[in-house]
Structure 1
């Protein structure tokens, strides 16, 4: 029997690609997506993706979305407590579920921290993308149909002009050599609207770009209205 897996879902490309990779394996079955959403703003805690977009992504992936509310200024202790409660509830919903997957790529310290937190709750960590060449991975994502936009740019690491740009070949060609092609060091985050993990593309509209904390540029994406036009139609 395939091992049930709960996948951490940020709305970005790495989580989406992790879903795609896991679905191509025969030994696991993703049963649900888990998103941490800021209580104050109703958005994914790092990407800033709207709750409604997260829900639409989950629907396109054909999976239930478990939302976990956390404060916008969330320390590690609070995060660990909230996540432990969420995992306990997930284990009740899906008996036998004791594995959580994350789309982590390179940062071993974060990976080890996740493993330790999960182990305390009796869970195991799965990181299907970890250790891959991020330059090759970024190109593979694009070649196989993943479509996303940059929804957050750290202006201390990447020029503000990259805010809101598509995650495409032109972007990869334009990135400075010091910037990871997948933004693994926090240089940028993305909002996915299409890919092989979705039954159909999402139609999104781009909103305003806002500077937060004097450093992070967040570009807003919402579900397109019937009268409007957006990605995916």
Structure 2
């Protein structure tokens, strides 16, 4: 079975990808990322970093180019065309790294309805505290690149996502940031041939979020 990974460059996706690649009978054919004005949507990570991740993982990267602002009908048209192309090439599933947000899962399943592609969620429903520990134990290394400062301190931008940082998070914050509290960029982990160099040179405010300014 051929599958593609919906990829934003974060830690949850990295473990979901490793899980899919280890599934007997499953071939991960590549990564698919939505890009807005040269940056990954939702985290504002420059395209070059997900390209470097794909190279380290030995997988092709395909991008869905979106305008900003992006009306929902344009988003659905362009992602739909991208999925149709994957299906034409023989894909049967799109793998997602979502953990527990039912509305997000339902949206993804609705979006794929009628495309011939199924949505797969290999990490779904797993308690996030032990899941975070498993990620770290399996060698997932990531940097916090975007935070919602209303929910977590902006000072964690640029820090390594590790046990020390997780222990410092407010009690109501998910250790994996699944509620949108923060986003990460993976620099190493299962399947990586080598680490991806990432250097945080500063921070910036974007639409109410605090993001990392990245270099190599």
TM-score when scaled to structure 2?
0.96
Cα distance in 1, alignment partners of residues 101 and 138 from structure 2:
25
Shift of 1:77: 3.0
Cα distance in 2, alignment partners of residues 102 and 167 from structure 1:
20
Counterpart for residue 200 of structure 1? 194
8 Å CA contact 1:70, 1:79 repeated in 2? yes
Match of 2:137 among 118, 128, 143: 143
Counterpart for residue 7 of structure 1? 5
Query: Residues 41-52 of structure 1 correspond to what in structure 2 (within 5 A)?
Result: 42-52=38-48
SS in 2 for 1:220: strand
Counterpart for residue 84 of structure 1? 80
Quick check: 1:101 aligned with 2:101? no
8 Å CA contact 1:11, 1:47 repeated in 2? no
Q: CA RMSD in A?
A: 1.2
Structure 2 unaligned runs (5+)? none
Counterpart for residue 23 of structure 1? 21
Structure 1 unaligned runs (5+)? 225-233
Cα distance in 2, alignment partners of residues 46 and 90 from structure 1:
23
Q: What do the CA deviations read for 1:124-159 (whole angstroms, capped 9, x no partner)? A: 110111111111111111111110000000011111
Shift of 1:75: 4.1
Q: What do the CA deviations read for 1:199-219 (whole angstroms, capped 9, x no partner)? A: 111122212200112x20010
